[in-house]
Amino acid sequence: MLFRAAAAVFFALTAACGPLTHAQQCRHELIIQKFSSQAVLSRYCIPPDRNFSLSFIHSVSLTKVRDDYRIEAGHILQVAETIQTHEAGLPSLEHEPDALAWEWQDGQFMLRMQRRIDRLVVRVQDPYQNRLILGEKTIDLNQWGDLALEISIENSHPQHESNPHQRE
């Protein structure tokens, strides 16, 4: 009997208050905008682990690169770069700025780092297959054509949900 009463109260409150909005569920949003005009192209919820990645084909070696980022104290922090080969144009210094360690893992080099990124500007071009990875979701950054994109982070405010741009 007590269970039924508790369930009835729960369902009544849920019906009265409604489900959580996207902004209430999303702590940080990743914003993609045109670098030249600052026009917002899209917004995405950053996963609860606060991690995201960018992948692309390196323009010199034509091999895959993956840059891993994490949100720390409202800032973008690059935490790793994974490359398939170690050729011209790729990081090669023993003391790479902000580097913690080089690793060889599954046939790839991985540079672990703690590099704060104040402005993350990405030049996307179709041949380089620029992608944004948010958890299990992959977003094709080439969908907006060949241009420079700025990626920034915004803390979501549950009481302020008046954004007309895409949120996924």
pLDDT of residue 139: 96
pLDDT of residue 85: 65
pLDDT of residue 105: 76
Q: What is the pLDDT of residues 21-59, one digit of tens each?
A: 444 478 899 999 999 999 999 999 999 999 999 999 988
Q: What is the pLDDT of residues 117-142, one digit of tens each?
A: 989 999 999 999 999 999 999 999 99
Of 142, 83, 80, 134, nearest in space to 112 by CA: 80
Distance CA 168, CA 134 (A): 10
pLDDT of residue 10: 37
Average pLDDT over residues 52-75: 91
Lowest-confidence pick of 67-76, 103-112, 143-152, 157-166? 157-166
pLDDT of residue 104: 78
Q: What is the pLDDT of residues 78-129, one digit of tens each?
A: 999 988 765 555 555 556 677 767 777 777 887 888 889 989 999 999 999 9
Order of strands, sheet of 40-45, starting from the edge strand that comes earlier in the sequence? 40-45, 28-34, 147-155, 120-124
Percentage of the chain surpassing pLDDT 70? 70
